[in-house]
Each structure stands twice: as C-alpha cells, then as structure tokens.
Amino acid sequence: MNSFMNIVEEIKSIVSDDFKPKKVFDKDVAEVLGISQMNFATMKKRNKIPFTELLDFCAKKSISINWLLYGQSPESLVEATNKFYMVKYFNDISASAGGGSDVAFEEIEELEIPEQFVFMLGGERELKNIEAINVSGDSMEPTFSYNDIVFINRSKTDLNRGGIFTIRTEAGLFIKRVQTRLDGKIDIISDNSVYTTQTLQANEIEVVGRVVSRFGDVD
C-alpha cells in the first residue's frame, strides 16, 4: 500500500489543474479531502490513511481507490470494482447531532456500497449487523455533518471503551461521543465545542449501536 505522503502527492497531481497557476500544497489537499489541517498533520506524522475521505474523493473524481492506494490500473480491477454489497438503509430516520430526532415510521431501503468500503465496516461477516441512517444537526461537526449517512453496527453496544454511538434517550435519537464515568454515569459529548457535555444515568440511555463509518454528501 502507498504511504500517506505518496497518496498526497498523487492527489496533488490529480487536482493540479484546479489550482493553476498556483502550486498545490498540503493544506489544499486537506481542504479537498475535507480534513482539518490539524488532523491532516497528525495523519501525516502517523502515516494514518483517511480511507473514508479518500473514498469520497475517488467517487467525485471517478477514479479507482485501488489505483490510489496500490497503484493498480483500473483495467486490472474491472471485475473487483463492479462488485457491490447491500446494507439496510433507514432513509427516513435522522439521528440528531444537535437536538434529538425521532420518527414514527421506518422505511427500509437497501444501500449499495462498493467492495472497497466493506473492510471499513468490519468486513463482510459484519454486514448482517450494519444499518445506515442519516445525520442532522451540527453538534458533531467536524466529525459528522448534515447529509452524512452513518453506518451503525447494532451488535456493538458496550459503552465501557467509549466511542461514537447512536443512542436513544427520552429526548430522541442522537449520534454522540459517549464515555462511561467511574460513578457509572454516562457523559454524552459533542465534538462541536459550542455544545456542552450532558451526563445521564445508564438506565436513561438505550444504545442502538456503535457508529463505524460514514458516507458524506450521499444523495
């Protein structure tokens, strides 16, 4: 697999026409991928590849992510890139990243995802546990934004290690970062610093599942 910096250089080459006559810098690549400059610098230092953002970028540019990650030609990947998987998509449900959200009806569709995205959901064996819903609100920005579709693994409901979960409280359905306190209470944390942390009793929360990935700006 190409290193993070090799991938960055490839992206610079791909978007160079969009920036002419200016030179493309790392900060421009971060903006193209929708990553903050601080997070970009951390990924660069740790050689951590932003797979979700790369998938979005490749989809917009109509290029193969395998070419970007491995240098494999699109021609050699025709059969592989034509393989898709389906997951349940509740298109009328929005979990709020702001003030709670809930619905009276649950219309289930099937959402088609490319093979390259399956490993980000835990592999093919986990697809039976995966469901997709929409995001509304801004309290989890920049992690999640309006129009994102998030993928939830309903088999992962243990809060002890923390993480981002879809939860239901008496106020509605939320996507929040949660953390279990030593006294057994649960901190409900927003990534947007404008919002304050809430603390609830464990019995006041129903855990729907862990958020394992997202699609951004999916129509």
Given CATH 2.30.29, say whether it is the number of domain 4-81: no
Rounded mean pLDDT, 82-104:
64
pTM of the model: 0.61
Domain extent listing, the chain: 4-81, 84-215
CATH 2.10.109.10 fits 84-215, yes or no: yes
CA nearest neighbour of 178 among 155, 148, 152, 202: 202
Token pair recorded at residue 177 = 């970062």
Tell me whether the CATH fold assigned to 4-81 matches the one assigned to 84-215.
Answer: no
% of the chain residues with pLDDT over 90: 34
Ranked by mean pLDDT, the top range of 32-41, 96-105, 201-210 is 201-210
Confidence of residue 142 (pLDDT cuts 50, 70, 90): confident
CA separation for the pair 70, 111 (Å, rounded): 27
Which tokens hold the place of 67?
A: 């070419």
The pLDDT of residue 107: 64
